Amino acid sequence: MPHTPIKALAVIALGVGVGLADMSMRGGNIVVAKERTPPVAPAPRPSPDQTSPTQTPSVEQNSAVREITPAEAKEWYDKGAIFLDARPRKDSERDGRIPGSQLLGPGDLDRSPPPAILDVLDPEKEVVIYCIGGDCHDSHNLATLLEARGFTKLLVFTDGFPGWVAAGYEVDTSPLPPE
């Protein structure tokens, strides 16, 4: 008897079902869809005696990442620290950005070729990273990725760009250079 496409599909479906049932009975994991990695949760806020830019960032003994407030971000800005804007380009174009900051999102680190900013960042110097604050974890995620690449002085501005604006600090609204 010739096999019809419907019979062939039925045999395949039966085989898949038996295989899944067997895997389940043996304690195997069945993954129906690709699981998303949850965002990196923010680190605890530093105590007031750990917040001065003149001190070595060290909220956690094992981490090069420290959270900072709007006033601390402004102090680091005035000292010439590098600022990285982890927001999407469209947000920076629409709302503006902290003057002199460079766009670098967590996903940009895997681009080929890598963003040019990575060639000029010094892993031993302070780097302030911000996004939109609140529930946005892009700045923390970027800090974690940079820490894995050897950066040792990463400062996450937890209030992000809205905190900068709310504090009344200068904003750059000039057009961004082409990508």
Tell me the domain boundaries of the chain. 1-35, 48-166
Indicate the DSSP class of residue 64.
S
pTM to 2 decimal places = 0.65
Give me the count of residues in the chain.
179
Q: Residues 72-125: pLDDT tens digits?
A: 999 999 999 999 999 999 999 999 999 999 999 988 988 888 888 888 899 999
Residue, of 143 and 55, whose pLDDT is higher: 143
Task: Say what the pLDDT of residue 122 is.
Answer: 92
- Nearest-angstrom CA–CA distance, 153 and 125: 6
Indicate the DSSP class of residue 155.
E
Q: What is the mean pLDDT of the chain?
A: 77
Which tokens sit at 59?
């909220």
Average pLDDT over residues 42-50: 42
Q: Which CATH number fits domain 48-166: 2.160.20.10, 3.90.75.20, 3.40.50.620, 3.40.250.10?
A: 3.40.250.10
Average pLDDT over residues 26-52: 42
